[in-house]
Amino acid sequence: MKQVYFISILVLSTYCASFLEEQPGMQNKIYSIKLERTQSQARKSFFDFITTGQHFRSKSDIMDDIALTQTTQKESIKLYNFKNTQYTGEISFGGQENKFKVIFDTGSANIWLNSARCHDYGCKNHKQYDGQKSLTYEHLGYDLDVEFGTGELMGEINADTAYVGNVKIRKQEFAEIVRENGDVFAQSDFDGIVGLAYPTMAAYHFNPLFDNIMQQKLLDRNVFSFYFSRQENSRTSELTLGGWNQDHFEGELHFHNVANKYYWLLEANNILVNGKDVGLCKGGCSVIADTGTSLITGPSDDLYDLIDTLNIDDNCKNLKELPTLTFVLDGIHYDLDAHDYVMKIDSYGNEIAYGSFASTDSFLEMGAGCECIGTFMPLDIPFPQGPAWILGDTFLSKYYSVYDRDNDRVGFARSK
C-alpha cells in the first residue's frame, strides 16, 4: 500500500556567494503556546524530504475508536523566537516533564519524534522519546518509511498521552524515528515535527494532533492561530489554541474558505507585482498557508519569472526601488514589500533578515560585502494538490493567521 504525504519543513539553502476576533465576552477555552524561532538549516536534504512519498505498511488492523474525554481548563502559555527562519514550541509525551522542541507545521499531518531505540547520530543528537518510561505508552506497530534522494527515515507509529502546555490529549498517535540514514534532522535545531494539516494527509488516516483535540472536545472552538514575531531570540511568537489573540494583529481579520481539505489550501485571484498582473497566477491559482516552510515557494516557471521581475540586486543597491508583491484572495490584497521578502547572506552563510531592521540604511550597513537575495524557492507540488504557491514564514510573519476547523477557513490580518 502506498500513499504520498508531505512534511513541509522547508528552509533556505544559502551561502554568501550564491542563491539558491476573539468576540468580546465569549468564554472560550484559549491556550497560547510560546514559539521559539530556530536557526536556518542549509541542507538540501530538507527539500528532498518534503517532496517525497512516505511508504507505509500495517502490522495490524486499525485500532478501535478512542473514547472521548472533556476538560474545562483555561490557560495561556508564553512562547519564544530565534532567527527569522523557523519557529518552535514544546510538546510533551508520556508526562508533562518529557518535553520536546518541535515545529508546529500546518503543511504536514504526522508527528515525528526521535526514538530512544534509534542509535544513529541524527537521533542521538536530539531529545529522544522512550516509551518504556511512560505508563500511557501504547504499541500499535505501524511502520512508516520515508525514502528520498539523500537518505531514509524509518519509523513506527505508536501512541501516548501528549501535552501542549496543559492541554492533555489522550492516545495521540505519533511516529517514532527508529532509523535515520542521511542528515535530514542531524543538524536541525528541533527534536520533531507536529503536523496540523487535515487527516486525509496523515499516515493510516490516524488523527493529527488537532483532530484528536477536536474529537476529545478539549476546546470550545476548534480554531488555532499563529503569531510569528520578527524579534529574533525572543519568546514573543505564539500558537493559540481555541481562538485567536487580538493583541497580536490590527485591522480586520479576513477569512478565506479552504478549497481542498488536505493542505490548508486556498484559491487566489491573482499575484501582482507593483499592482500589475505579470502572469504569475493565470486565471487564478492555489496558495497554501504553511507554518513549516520558511520561504515563499511557487511553481518553477512562475517562480523564476517572479525573481526576474523583482530583479533584486546582489549588492543590495536597489532595495529602495524594489516593487511590492501582492497576493489577492477574495479581492483582499496582501502586500509584501522588500522589507518582507529580502535578506542578506553573510560570509558564513548566516541569514540577515531585512525585516529585522528599523531602516534600510541600518540593514545596508550590517554585513557589508555580502549578497542580497529574495526569500523564494521553486517547488513543484504534484497534482492533485498542485500546482500551488506556499505562503511560508515570509508571509506569515507579516500576517497573523487563523486556522478554523469548525468552518474550514483560514483568516489573515496584519500582525502588530
Q: From its phi and psi, is residue 63 left (phi > 0), alpha (psi between -120 and 50) or beta?
A: beta
CA–CA distance, 80 with 69 (Å, rounded to integer): 30
Summarised one tens digit per residue, pLDDT across range 34-51 is: 665 544 443 345 545 554
DSSP letter for each residue of 194-262: EE-S-GGGSGGGPPPHHHHHHHTT--SS-EEEEE----TT-S-EEEEESS--GGGEEEEEEEEE-SEET
Which member of 191, 290, 302, 393 is catalytic? 290
The last residue of one of the domains, among 208, 238, 268, is 238
Q: Are residues 232 and 253 in the same domain?
A: no
The per-residue pLDDT for 11 is 42
Q: Are residues 265 and 122 in the same domain?
A: no
Q: Cell match 535545531: residue?
A: 189
CA–CA distance, 219 with 29 (Å, rounded to integer): 6
- What is the span of the domain harbouring residue 250? 246-415
Q: Tell me whether residue 224 is in a domain.
A: yes
Ranges of residues in the chain whose predicted pLDDT is under 50: 1-28, 38-44, 47, 51, 55, 57-75, 77
DSSP letter for each residue of 121-170: HHHHTS--B-GGG-TT-EEEEEEEEEEETTEEEEEEEEEEEEEETTEEEE
Q: Are residues 180 and 270 in the same domain?
A: no
Q: Are residues 259 and 327 in the same domain?
A: yes
Q: Tell me whether residue 361 is in a domain.
A: yes
Q: Tell me whether residue 201 is in a domain.
A: yes
Q: Are residues 207 and 283 in the same domain?
A: no
Q: Are residues 216 and 260 in the same domain?
A: no
Domain containing 195 — which CATH number? 2.40.70.10
The last residue of one of the domains, among 195, 219, 238, is 238
The per-residue pLDDT for 16 is 29
The per-residue pLDDT for 165 is 85
Active site residue 408: no
Q: Are residues 81 and 147 in the same domain?
A: yes
The two counts, helices (H) then strands (E), for the chain are 7, 28
Q: Are residues 231 and 252 in the same domain?
A: no
Q: Are residues 232 and 98 in the same domain?
A: yes
Q: Tell me whether residue 39 is in a domain.
A: no
The per-residue pLDDT for 307 is 96
Which member of 105, 191, 393, 404 is catalytic? 105
The per-residue pLDDT for 396 is 96
Q: Are residues 256 and 234 in the same domain?
A: no
Max CA separation in the chain (angstroms): 62
Q: Helices in 311-408 by DSSP H: which ranges?
A: 338-341, 360-365, 393-396
Active site residue 247: no
The last residue of one of the domains, among 185, 214, 238, is 238
pTM: 0.86
Instruction: Name the nearest CA neighbour of 123 among 160, 174, 177.
Output: 177
Q: Tell me whether residue 337 is in a domain.
A: yes
Q: How many domains would you assign to the chain?
A: 2
Q: Are residues 234 and 320 in the same domain?
A: no
The per-residue pLDDT for 355 is 67
